[in-house]
Amino acid sequence: MKFSHAIILLFTAFNCSAQSSQRPIKIWYSLGVSGKVTDELTINFGRMYSYDTEPYGQGYFQNTVGLYYRSLKHLSFSAGYTQTNILREEKPNLKKNRFYGAVSWKSKWDIWRISNAVKLEKHGSKEKKYNYRVIYSFYVRPRSDLIVPKIRLTPFFSSQFFYNIGGKPISQYDMEGNKLGKFEPNGWHRLRLRTGFYIKPIKHLKLTFYGIYQKEFNTGWAVKNHRQINVQNPKSGNISRAYKNYFVLGVSAKYYLPKIGKLKKERQKK
């Protein structure tokens, strides 16, 4: 019951924080399918829909296909492709492409299950904010049989730090408003915190309910080396590459197919 109370308090606090701030709230829906090719290799397909709440309307959707390979008990690798389709009213939809590769290390500590991962993304020419991104992720959850073993009710928490490389140069200014030149906004510029819980109501289905807090920023290094985002032109007042700070309320459903070899054996028995 303590875990259940913590989940309720967590989402209540999240909702109050979102309402009391001026950050917009987005709604994310995700659908996914995962299938095992071998004991070590898994292929994943997914689609995510993003909706804005003020005003309400669909902003974009993403399609992702990826491979996951578990080489050792604690070590795994993944790679894949994502296409983001940004919906625009007066122009054709904008399609952005990216490829990614990641390595993760999983460990156990008492009742806790912990994962650390590093992902490298290569973005296509339509993405102007960066050419590459390095993302460090931390994930922690308790054992899934502790709270409601029958449906595997499990709370979790994760954090992500984003390091941008390349992208369209941004004009930078000194304290007096003098232009120093245009520089690529490299550096750590985004933090994303995610928390929620998941359940497995039936054998092959996983439902996840979560909230995300995203905050973008400039580090001291970025200020010193003229690599800032959210830069205001002292003459016009216009802001280049404004911060994207928002909250997300999300739900995802993922279906896990039985291993291909297992399906063949079951069909042969029939």
Two tokens, residue 46: 């997914």
pLDDT tens, residue by residue, 105-141? 999 999 999 999 999 999 999 999 999 999 999 999 9
Q: Which residue pairs, CB below 8 angstroms and at least 24 apart, start in 176-179?
A: 177/234, 177/235
* Candidate from 11-25, 57-71, 126-140, 156-170 with smallest mean pLDDT: 11-25
- d(CA 160, CA 101) in angstroms, rounded, equals 16
Q: How far apart are CA 170 and CA 175, in angstroms?
A: 16
Could you read off the pLDDT of 81-104 as tens digits, one per residue? 999 999 988 788 999 999 999 999
What is the DSSP secondary-structure string of 52-87?
A: EETTEEEEEEEEEEEEEEE-SSSEEEEEEEEEEEE-
Q: Residue with structure tokens 């309720």?
A: 8
CB 129 within 8 A of CB 164: yes
Give the alpha-carbon dihedral of 53, 11, 244, 121, to 10 degrees: -110
Q: How far apart are CA 121 and CA 131, in angstroms?
A: 8
| pLDDT reading at 5 higher than 60 | no
pTM for this predicted structure: 0.88
Bond into 149 cis (ω within 30)? no
> Could you tell me the residue ranges of all domains in the chain?
2-252+260-269
CA distance 159 to 93: 31
Q: DSSP H helical segments within the chain, as ranges?
A: 2-20, 220-224, 260-269
